[in-house]
Chain A
């Protein structure tokens, strides 16, 4: 289970991507392949739709207000993107260990 939890204004919030909310995000125009070039539009969308599973009736303005105040946004976006991706990735098996291609991060 991957969730993001935090408290804001005396309320506890849980952000999560289910298959339904991941599908809704994509149908609303979210395109993960353009996340670098269209970040101004895409990233707030990615954040907004993560509320759907547990806080469906949240107002957009409130969500945007929370987004502005949350710290460590790079890690937050990374985690949200992983959760969105996992909605599909968890449907299939990982490659066998012997067939796995190793990768590293540089730069």
Chain B
């Protein structure tokens, strides 16, 4: 639903000309068609009809971010369920085998959502350190070379 429906109406009949910038629809038809969609995104009727027309862009972008976050949360939810299933899997197998079976321990803390960012910072630090060492080595080598030239 994201994106496609928002631009669909204005490009479908796109012959140009007529009364509207892109289509043969009237402004009233276009505004009425989009109205429920913007209400769904949280815009008020006042904002839509009488407010700053550029607000629509902000609401659209906010809606996109919200959908992205919802999608990420659903993914994370699935990941936790999957981890729980893996931990419990020995118990599920126990009905077929013999002896006492114990479930694996579940995660002791939530996933680190910012691990990638932290990893990047560490990499940058390591690169910087490497560069500094290289510079030191260079200056030391040039000093040694000068000493032996004499």
Chain A residues proximal to chain B, CB less than 8 Å = 1-2, 16-20, 22-23, 26-27, 31-33, 53, 83, 85-93
B146 to chain A, nearest CB (A): 53
How far apart are the CA atoms of A20 and B31 in the complex, in Å? 9
How far apart are the CA atoms of A1 and B28 in the complex, in Å? 22
Residues of B within 8 A of A22 (CB): 27, 53
Contact A18 B53 (CB under 8 A): yes
How far apart are the CA atoms of A2 and B57 in the complex, in Å? 13
> Using a Cβ cutoff of 8 Å, how many contacts connect chains A and B?
74
How far apart are the CA atoms of A53 and B30 in the complex, in Å? 20
- Contacts A19-B31, A90-B56 supplied; 19 other A-B pairs, CB < 8 Å: A1-B52, A2-B54, A17-B53, A18-B50, A19-B53, A22-B27, A23-B27, A26-B26, A27-B26, A32-B21, A83-B53, A86-B54, A88-B27, A88-B31, A89-B10, A91-B10, A91-B30, A92-B6, A93-B3
- Enumerate 20 A-B pairs (CB-CB under 8 Å) in ascending A order: A16-B52, A17-B53, A18-B51, A19-B50, A22-B53, A53-B50, A83-B53, A85-B21, A86-B53, A86-B54, A88-B22, A88-B27, A90-B54, A90-B57, A91-B9, A91-B30, A92-B9, A92-B11, A93-B6, A93-B60
Contact B56 A26 (CB under 8 A): no
| CB of B95 within 8 Å of the partner chain | no
Within 8 A of A (CB), among B25-58: 26-28, 30-31, 34, 38, 48-54, 56-57
What is the interface of chain A mostly: helix, strand, loop, or mixed? helix
Residues of B within 8 A of A23 (CB): 27-28, 31
Contact A88 B54 (CB under 8 A): no
Contact B27 A87 (CB under 8 A): yes
Residues of A within 8 A of B27 (CB): 19, 22-23, 26-27, 87-88
Contact B17 A33 (CB under 8 A): yes
